[in-house]
Structure 1
């Protein structure tokens, strides 16, 4: 089956891993708001979709020990999950900076 997101340079498996990372982040927060609960998996999926490829490329360039990519994308999916977890933190920082700027 042809991946519909391949045209945009995205892999469905990477987006799912990022979504799962964002969902884990949303579920692990003690004082999560409804906005965070909904936005965290979406931000995780988007961040993983666009940032995982460059991250894995950089890690390989600096000789970071990653599993070999022969047929299995375990390293890429693990990186996508971690980027998904961190994606909402990045979003939170951007929203906080924007709100501080707009309040001035």
Structure 2
């Protein structure tokens, strides 16, 4: 049976790793809101699903020292987790800019 995410260009294990990064980001924030509790994992999963492969490809292209590929995809999963966390920092900044812009209106 084919993974349903494959048709969208996503790997389930990468999406799960990004989701976990988003959960960690939401829970590590001191005063997290309901929006953050929902948006963090979703944004982390989507960002990891689409940005992890280009990130790992770029790191390989600049000869960044990565663990050897032994078939476990540890590099991709670790990268997905980090992308999931970092995506929320970026989305926090974007949400803050949007809310300030709306308040000005």
Please report the TM-score for the alignment, with normalisation by the length of structure 1. Answer: 0.92
| Equivalent position of 2:63 in the other structure | 63
Aligned pairs, number: 104
Please report the TM-score for the alignment, with normalisation by the length of structure 2. Answer: 0.91
CA distance in 2, matches of 1:67, 1:2: 29
1:64 Cα deviation after fit: 0.7
Structure 1 segments, 4+ long, off by >6 Å, are none
Any unmatched runs of 5+ in structure 2?
Answer: none
- The correspondence of residues 1-104 of structure 1 with structure 2, limited to 5 A, is 1-102=1-102, 103=104
1:35 Cα deviation after fit: 0.8
1:5 Cα deviation after fit: 0.9
Aligned partner of residue 72 in structure 2, secondary structure: coil
1:66 Cα deviation after fit: 1.0
